Structure 1
Amino acid sequence: MKVLICDEPGKLSVIDRPEPTPGAGEVLVRIRRVGICGTDFHIFQGKHPFLEYPRVMGHELSGTVERAPANSDLKPGQNVYVVPYLSCGRCVACRKGVSNACQNISVLGVHSDGGMAELLCVPVSNVVPIGDTPLNDAAMIEFLAIGAHGVKRGGIGAQDRVLVVGSGPIGMSAIIFAKARGAHVTVMDVREDRLAFTQDQLGADALLVANADAEAKAGSATGGDFFDAVIDCTGNLAAMQRGFGFVGHGGRYVLVSVVRDNLTFSDPEFHKRETTLFASRNAQPDDFAEVVHQMQAGKVPTRALNTHSGPLTAGPELFRDWLRPEAGVIKAILEV
């Protein structure tokens, strides 16, 4: 089978590997679409802190069942999406039902080889039928679920005034699902082109350029109240620390971003506002289901999000092209 492998930072190759054989309780999935994530670009650039090369990337996956265990409900030919988080089922997080925070989690395409391949073996519990959802859309379910999970973590509702910081794909997902819950959503970013997209395509209610005047403008726009909830999706340490100042009294701050560093904030301000701070990691099964539900309800503009596509075998050239800011990539998908 054909596989796209990252041999080392900056080097991708298309190689042949033997077809995998599913073990007990595993499904053999013929991969059809692979969404490209910021994580994949970081792996390609050598910026991912927890990764060993060579690595087959790919964790935003849709495909078709090739072979399934006899005792499962899956049938050959069914279109499916893959949940890429392989949890242990035994640790304290798994026992509490929060397998997204599993102590021993392995993410396909990061900790183990992923789906930039023609075939992949996956535990049956990680394979979900998609019915008539198009394969391109199904390959976007995972990144959308991350935003949906962050919105859920923040307890966002119709009464809330929300600030989403960062208008990359995960930020866009948070916008979509905060809007789906009826919230008033302001988006802040340094890129005015991305801000315009969130208003034109995603229905953002207000925009805020992340310049030196942002706090003053946010205070003026909210009558000095600031925001009931702030959701950070920047992956930028300075932005994450700055975000505390946009949370109103009694508000919530959700960190979807993660950086390999220590965050600092003003403890007097944190206490004065009685801020609630949430981490938001990966996604849970109900978040994936929420994405599918909102897709079927027409609340997710998948065509606008999927800006680029190309064949798996052209991956080495496409990755370099898609990394250029002027390429205007929001979500790129490899076709297998």
Structure 2
Amino acid sequence: MKALLLESPKNLKHVEIDSPGHPGPGDALVRVHRVGVCGTDISGYLGKMPFFSYPRIPGHELGVEVLAIGEGVTQVKPGDHCSVEPYINDPNSYASRRGHPNCCENLQVLGVHRDGGLRPEFILPARKLHPSLSLTFDQLAIVETLAIGCHAVNRAAPLGDESVLIIGAGPIGLSTLEFVKLTGAKTIVLDVNEHRLDFCRRAMGVEHTVKNSDHVEKDLRDLTDGHMPDVVIDATGNSVSMSNAFGLIAPGGRIVFVGITTEEVHFKHALFHKPEGTLLCSRNALPADFRRIIGLIEEGMIDTKPWITHRAAFDDLPGLFPSYTKAETGVIKAIVEVN
């Protein structure tokens, strides 16, 4: 069968691979219907993702259908439509036993460390499937992006009377936005791209946006009664932005890094010590995040319609993918139609 292989940076091509066969104990065979393209895929394509290995079949934001199950599988059945939790952990690892499977020492992320979903069918552990009776395959493919934001906001734990600054209005920043809004906290989005800020105002209902500039601190103080944001979530993966975040928090404030950089992040200790700041990192997501998000979409609490701005047929993706790396393309979320 045909798959899409990222053989090396900027070299995405069709290849022939073997069919997956029948699933073993605890596994499931799935048919891939939809694959979302995210920042990890783009960074991997450009050769900028620190955890990415080549050659690799990308794709970890997945809407799939269960075709067959192996011995002992009870949580899903053939015909189920599912979102995929793509973080393949060792259940017996220290991190997993402590409730942190998202940062397991032996973690293998689909489409990053092991082959992902840009192929018609594949086998994975059935425990990584989260079914829904009503969500479309498009919606199921978006769940993983939302899960990243859900986990980041859980790490920050904003209160309803606090203010939250989200730096970076790309897909990961927008996913955090969905969950900050649910807390009732005052939400501020900062970005360098006016088109993305306009999208936040128009499609995501954000009242307060700030374009990055030399007077960003004044702009933020004007929006927070002079005391700066209580929570700063940096979703840029840009080391300069992440370094600057240390000077943007209120007394007792928290910073969450959900973006990833290969560069060093610098800060003056006194600057961060003075407000007694707290720094948190947010990696991947937890199984409960997927279950919560599916429920929220089913209940109409999260509207996924604004997310999908571009579509691609499986056969057309190699020619279209370079455009997704360019800001002027206006991509928020591209969905690949596999089956």
TM range (shorter): over 0.9
Alignment of 1:79-118 (within 5 A): 79-118=81-120
Q: Which residue of 302, 305, 330 corresponds with 1:303?
A: 305
Distance 2:45 2:260 in 1: 19
| 3-state SS of paired residue (1:67) | strand
Tell me how far 1:94 sits from its aligned partner: 1.0
Whether the aligned pair in 1 keeps the contact of 2:221 and 2:227 (CA below 8 Å) is yes
By how many angstroms is 1:157 displaced? 2.4
Distance 1:80 1:89, change over 3 A: same
CA distance in 2, matches of 1:88, 1:163: 35
Distance apart, 1:61 and its partner CA: 0.7
Q: Deviation at 1:318?
A: 1.6
Offset, 1:213: 0.5
Structure 1 residues 71 and 133: alpha-carbon distance in aligned structure 2, compared to 1, 3 A threshold: same
TM-score when scaled to structure 1?
0.96
Q: Percent identity?
A: 39
Q: What is the CA–CA distance in structure 2 between the aligned matches of 1:328 and 1:148, rounded to whole Å? A: 24
2:16 equivalent in structure 1: 16
Contact 2:33 2:64 in 1 (8 A): yes
1:283 is matched with 285
Q: Which residue of 1 aligns with 2:64?
A: 63
2:317 matches 1:315? yes
Distance 2:292 2:59 in 1: 22
SS in structure 2 at match of 1:247: coil
- Is the CA contact (8 Å cut-off) linking 1:60 and 1:142 kept in structure 2? yes
Check whether the contact 1:184–1:205 (CA below 8 A) recurs between aligned residues.
no
SS state at 1:139 partner:
helix
**C-alpha displacement of 1:90:** 2.2
The residue identity in structure 2 corresponding to 1:318 is L
Q: Are the structure 2 counterparts of residues 52 and 110 from structure 1 closer, same or farther at C-alpha, using a change threshold of 3 Å?
A: same
Aligned residue pairs, count = 336
Which segment drifts farther, 161-170 or 261-270? 261-270
The amino acid that maps onto 1:122 is: L
Structure 2 length-normalised TM: 0.96
Deviation readout 1:249-308 (Å, 9 max, x if unpaired): 011111111211322212112222111111101001121122212212323231211011
- The answer to whether the 8 Å contact 1:201/1:301 transfers is no
* Greater Cα offset, 284-293 or 244-253: 284-293
CA distance in 2, matches of 1:252, 1:239: 15
Give the secondary-structure state (helix, strand or coil) at the position aligned to 2:247: helix
Aligned equivalents of 2:118, 2:9: Cα separation in 1: 16
Q: Unaligned 5+ residue runs, structure 1?
A: none
The alpha carbon displacement at 1:85 in A equals 0.1
Q: Residue 70 of structure 1: CA displacement? A: 4.4
Q: Which of the residues 279, 293, 296 maps onto 2:295?
A: 293
Task: Supply the AA of the counterpart residue of 1:60.
Answer: E
Match of 2:150 among 139, 148, 151: 148
Aligned counterparts of 2:77 and 2:51: Cα–Cα separation in 1: 36
Deviations along 1:61-109, one digit per CA (max 9) or x if unpaired, are 1110010124323221111111100011222211111110111100000
Shift of 1:176: 0.9
Structure 2 residues without counterparts, runs of 5 or longer: none
Alignment of 1:139-178 (within 5 A): 139-178=141-180
Tell me what 1:131 maps to.
133
